[in-house]
Structure 1
Amino acid sequence: MNRILLYIHYNKSDELSGHVLYQLEQIRPLFSRVIFISNSHLDQNHIEKLKMIGIFEIIQRENIGFDFAAWRDGMTYVGFDHLEKYDSVTLMNDTCIGPLWSLEPYFRSFESAIDCDFWGMTNFKKTKYFREHVQSYFVSYSQAVVLSKVFQKFWTSIKNFENVRQVIDNYETKLTSKLKKSGFNYKVVFNTLNEQSEGMVHPDFSYYKPFKILEHRVPVLKVKAIQAHPLQADQLKNKIREVTEFPIDILNSVYSSIEFFPVENEQTETYTLLKKVRNKIKRVIGRKG
């Protein structure tokens, strides 16, 4: 398959983390071309490391507009007349560790599926605040999607929003529905639409349920999903070591370099959830009364 990857690097320093280099080294053979988009200046030594694993096209840009503006700039660099020639265009960022298992079988499975025009790792079911959507940290689009007017119009219209909620509301949650409305179908490794999510502030399994991610063999795991659960950090680390193919030395390096979120964050989220449940009960009782 003739594939292209647009990969975003977010590290604020001028260095590449070991898990990022490992990730790129593992997935590079899957793609005919990789565009590395860095939202920070890269040290020349790390540019050479990228070249050593076969990545020669590097865009260094100002960290503005979040993921979608960076991918827009990557597409502008390549040009839609060239993007259209690839069998698929994959968008990914460096916010995850992995691959936990080889990505090749996932590509082979989804690309051979008749009813799959684009695919990702996890989806987010519709709520009061968000539309159903494929989560943007990894999505692969078929040539048919890339050729479509709706896809190209979407990406050429991306603005440099300064608020991440604007990006989520206007871009991440809307692209999936725009493509579905145009007749395209999607699949994900872990379909969460029918999963129970009562114990979560938002039905974001990629963040709140890292053990579920492993259970469903999602081949990448968000670093924030590790950071957000300090009380389960060791248990999660042991599970990753037990069930995945991820190198222990890289995993240890990730754990030693990240800052865990305060335990109070988990308690605050639990309180917020309980408050929502109490308010809902009050409304129900009020209507019955």
Structure 2
Amino acid sequence: MNRILLYVHYNKSDDLSSHVLYQLEKLSPLFSRILLISNSCLSTEHLKSLRKIGINEVVQRENIGYDFAAWRDGMNYIGFNSLVDYDSVTLMNDTCIGPLWDLKEYFEKFEKQVDIDFWGMTNFRKTKYFKEHLQSYFVSYSRQVVSSKVFQKFWTSIRDYENIRSVIDRYETRFTGILTKSGFKYGVVFNTINEDAGNLIHPDFSYYRPEEILNQQVPFIKVKVFQVNSEQTNYIKSQINNLTDFPMSVLNEQLISNVYCITDATVENKDFISRIKKLVRRIFRK
């Protein structure tokens, strides 16, 4: 299959974490072409690290409009005349850890289904706040979808909103409905529509029910899952270690980054920061 990946490096800083490099290296064999769109300026060292794993196309842009504006700019860079030559166009951002399982079988499964035009990892049921939609951190669109006027009109009309809620309300939660109203059908690795959401404020299984994400073998788990509380972090870490081959060194480094990025932003004493980092590393190695 002739596939292209438009991958958004979402970090506001110039940090390119090992989980991104690992992710791109694992994804690379599945795609004929990968475009990394960075919402921050990457150092020469980071660009060299990307080239070592075969990522040679990088668009660096100002951190405006979040991931939807970044994907728009990526499509403009490629051009719709070229995008429609690919069997599928996959949009992804770096807000998740993985792949926890080999992605090849997921692509093959959905690409064999003639009644599936686009697919993703998890969906979000309709509520009084949101429409039913595929969550945008990973979605793959077939050539039929990408060639359609409705797809191209949507992406060429993306604006640079400064508020993430505006991006979610106007783009993420609406695009699935726009496509399905045009006759396209979607598939999902973990269909949460009829799952018991219990007393969840929002039926976001990717965030509130990470244990179900693993039980359903969704190959990506959101980074924000590890920012809730230490008990959940330790449990999910142990489950990933037991159920998958994902390198714990990569996961631990990401968890450390989540902690000490706060200290870097708020503390000027470099010696103190260094001690904090060493302490955090010892904690996460346990």
What is the TM-score when the length of structure 2 is the normalising length?
0.89
Amino acid at match of 2:154: F
CA distance in 2, matches of 1:66, 1:37: 11
CA distance in 1, matches of 2:173, 2:206: 15
For 1:259-289, what per-residue CA distance to the aligned partner results, in whole angstroms no more than 9, with x for missing partners? 39xxxxxxxxxxxxxxxxxxxxxxxxxxxxx
Per the alignment, residue 45 of structure 1 pairs with 45
Per the alignment, residue 61 of structure 1 pairs with 61
Runs of 4+, deviation exceeding 4 Å: none
Per the alignment, residue 150 of structure 2 pairs with 150
Q: Aligned-pair distance for 1:231?
A: 2.6
What is the TM-score when the length of structure 1 is the normalising length?
0.88
Conserved 8 A contact 2:125-2:132: yes
Unaligned runs of 5+ in 2: 261-286
Q: Aligned-pair distance for 1:15?
A: 2.7
Q: Aligned-pair distance for 1:59?
A: 0.4
CA distance in 2, matches of 1:90, 1:6: 6
Q: Secondary structure at the match of 1:258?
A: helix
Q: Aligned-pair distance for 1:162?
A: 1.1
Moved more, 33-42 or 245-254: 245-254
Counterpart check, 1:212 vs 2:212: yes
For 1:78-136, what per-residue CA distance to the aligned partner results, in whole angstroms no more than 9, with x for missing partners? 00000000000000000111000011100000011121100000000000000000000
Q: Secondary structure at the match of 1:68?
A: helix
CA distance in 1, matches of 2:15, 2:43: 6
For the aligned residues, what is the CA RMSD? 1.1
Aligned length: 260
Unaligned runs of 5+ in 1: 261-289
Per the alignment, residue 278 of structure 1 pairs with none
Conserved 8 A contact 1:210-1:226: no
Per the alignment, residue 248 of structure 1 pairs with 248
Q: Aligned-pair distance for 1:173?
A: 1.1
Moved more, 223-232 or 168-177: 223-232
Per the alignment, residue 186 of structure 1 pairs with 186
Q: Aligned-pair distance for 1:17?
A: 0.3
Q: Aligned-pair distance for 1:36?
A: 0.3
Conserved 8 A contact 2:40-2:63: yes
Conserved 8 A contact 2:12-2:63: no
Per the alignment, residue 12 of structure 1 pairs with 12
Q: Secondary structure at the match of 2:259?
A: coil
Per the alignment, residue 165 of structure 1 pairs with 165
Amino acid at match of 2:241: R
Per the alignment, residue 82 of structure 1 pairs with 82
Amino acid at match of 1:7: Y
Q: Secondary structure at the match of 2:198?
A: coil
Q: Aligned-pair distance for 1:182?
A: 0.6
For 1:4-46, what per-residue CA distance to the aligned partner results, in whole angstroms no more than 9, with x for missing partners? 0000002233231011100100101110010100000101011
CA distance in 1, matches of 2:11, 2:160: 19
